[in-house]
Structure 1
Amino acid sequence: MSLTTTSKSFEATSIAIAEEAFLTRFSDTAMLSIPGTMLGSDWARRDVSLAEAKHLLMGPAAEACDRVWAMIARNARRDGGDWSLAAVGMAAPMLKRIAAGACAKFDGIRQDDLAAEVVAAFLSHLAVVDLERAGILVRLRWATWRATVKVALANTEAPAPYSFIGSMPPAMPCAHPDVALARAERADVITRAEADLIGMTRLDEVSLAEAAECLGITANAAKIRRQKAEARLVAFLTGQPIPTRKDLKHARVRSTVNSVSLAA
């Protein structure tokens, strides 16, 4: 698919169309619904429409997010159709942010085509995401973002500048940070899990606490793991000797990733 620029709003893309269809079809319990018990005691005596559940999951019932998304994913895998549409409709605000973020970071992308790629990536990962681990939607968001970036990189000549957040050495010539993470991973400087941790918390605004929950470790362990991985990453990108895991085992490694741009 060729991606070229256009001024079209994301309100006219496949994501918005799916969201509108979702609200039209699933605003009452006649089509699809979830047991109110999934959302807590306040809704335990009735079924809840998916449109209402979408609203509730943004508020007091947010702790029920994993239960609801596990149900939606299982039904989408088994039945497809309406449940797949429901999944896209439920996730539409997140998907719009992913598409808009990719457009902001890359030149030469047509928004409607990119939005279609975002939906495809989301549904692809919905089919395989581990439903037994916490943070289902966070992991879906990150996986969809990574897939979207790959499409954007494949269809644009020059990504827009982007910087990591944190404190770090002097800036250097920049390519997209996902490319730098991929290079470091291929060179065995960082692992895939470490690349995901850095990407989630530095690029996708996922908190360390959320990332730690996804990885099944404590927030402090996630912080230490990220610090050590970033020390190796920055050394790799700046041409310095790469500290070994043994070197870093007892070292107090400060986070070095800030506003530096990552070299291609």
Structure 2
Amino acid sequence: MSITTRTGTPAEQQWQTWHEQRAAEIALPYGPLALTATHWLADFPDGHPDGVPGHWKADGDAVLLRAAADDGLTVDGAPLDGTVRLGADSAPATARVAHDGRRLPVLRREGLWAVRVFDPGSEARRTFGGIDVFPYDERWLRPGLFRPYGAGRTVQVHNADGRQRGLGLAGELAFTLDGDEHTLQAAVEADGTLWAVLADATSGTDSYRFRFLRTPAPKDDGTVPVDLNRTLLPPCAFADHFICPFPPPGNTLPFALRAGERNRIAR
């Protein structure tokens, strides 16, 4: 059994553990690398998305799936022979519908329904060689301040699939670097943590074209640590069929953020 020897400060060792865990999560059988298709049901009025058995139809606040036993679909682990009403799935690994080892989670965005295909045998998963990262540097660990807007805002931004969708924003995340203040428009997740979509001077050249940043939930006074060493690749860096939002206006940092994840490594 091999033992990983950790070096550096405690903060750097924690970052190394985070990086290893991220790579392991990405490589899970139904992780981002397994996504091979996102089929918007509105694009298939006949109810038959390419390569997906059964008849799929949006029906208001649900999707109706009709299949015969020889279609080979299962719902909640049991063969489907008839019709079932489906809601949106919370995660691919727990999707109700499966077919021949693939998971078929149902997705809803802005009132539109889609079915996705997660295949553990995808080429992206087979050729995954890890995540390239910039070296850890304590310079990128900054004290931050979250300034909530008086009311939430929604801005239209391009998504990775070429469509425009609304991006909800709850406030500004501010931090200083080399004496200058920088701000990012951020969303507040259900658990209170912050999420921002950003670009910087390395985007598209020395790193992926845009990245995500997540922070803990701010304290009551708005203070929050901003660890840019944990800047993340978006899901669409691992598979082409995600619909990641691009950075909203004002979220392109004017410096080279040589921190966090850079790109997916293919072997």
TM superposition score normalised by structure 2: 0.29
TM-score (norm 1): 0.29
- Counting helix residues as a fraction of each chain, which structure ranks higher? 1
Structure with bigger strand share is 2
